[in-house]
Amino acid sequence: MKKAKLKEIKQNNSKKNIVEEQETFSIKKVVVTFVIIFVTFGAFYFLTDFLISKRTSLETSNSNTNTNTNTNEISFLDILEQSDKEYYVFALTDTKDETIYKRYASFNDKKYYIVDMNDTMNKSHVSDKTSVSNSVKDITIKETTLFVVKDGKISDHFTGTEDIIKYLQKNIVPNSNIKK
């Protein structure tokens, strides 16, 4: 029986050694894992900070060059909310004639604003027919429309490229030679 007890003791001792080695090995793994996590997060932090600062500087430089062209673009719901007493609003369903309208409007001292009806915020006001009312929420247009706004109210509107150009030629630049 003595032999059996020796074998059991040797087995128990070898198990203790294995257990102790596994514990020290797992502590080493935990330390290494934490170091890797900290290094990874640090790298992502500095990379993100670098990319954001570079993107911000690009946006700032782009906004400085485009300030004159975007200042007169507004949302459709804001067509009666401008501070000027009298102005024009071009609600464009097709931007092909935008330069013509801008050219005519530049001859006038009245301010003009552009509404891009293809923008997702403005698409709800595009319909099969044009309907103009006192409330901007109820206005729908079928094609490009010019709104003449006086004292915060729509005094007149013109729908379609031909009607808009006729109005602009008659009221802004009489006897003008500006053509498409």
Residue 21's pLDDT band (cuts 50, 70, 90): low
Q: In sequence order, what E strands does 12-160 have?
A: 86-92, 111-116, 145-150, 153-159
Helices assigned H by DSSP within 66-81: 67-70
* pLDDT for res 36: 96
Q: What is the pLDDT of residue 67?
A: 42
Per-residue pLDDT, averaged over 40-55, amounts to 83
Number of H helices and E strands in the chain, helices first, is 4, 4
Q: Is the pLDDT of residue 44 over 60?
A: yes
CB atoms within 10 A of CB 160: 14
Q: Which residue has the higher pLDDT, 40 or 61?
A: 40
* Residue 74, pLDDT above cutoff 80: yes
Strand partners for 88 = 112, 148
pLDDT digits (tens, 9 = 90+) for 104-163: 777 777 788 888 888 888 888 888 888 888 888 888 888 888 888 998 888 888 888 888
pLDDT tier, 164 (very low <50, low <70, confident <90, very high otherwise): confident
Q: Give every strand in the sheet of 111-116, ordered side by side.
A: 111-116, 86-92, 145-150, 153-159
pLDDT for 25 beyond 70: no
Q: How far is 152 from 75, CA to CA, in rounded Å?
A: 15
Whether residue 8 is predicted with pLDDT greater than 70 in this model: the reply is no
For residue 13, give the amino acid letter. Answer: N
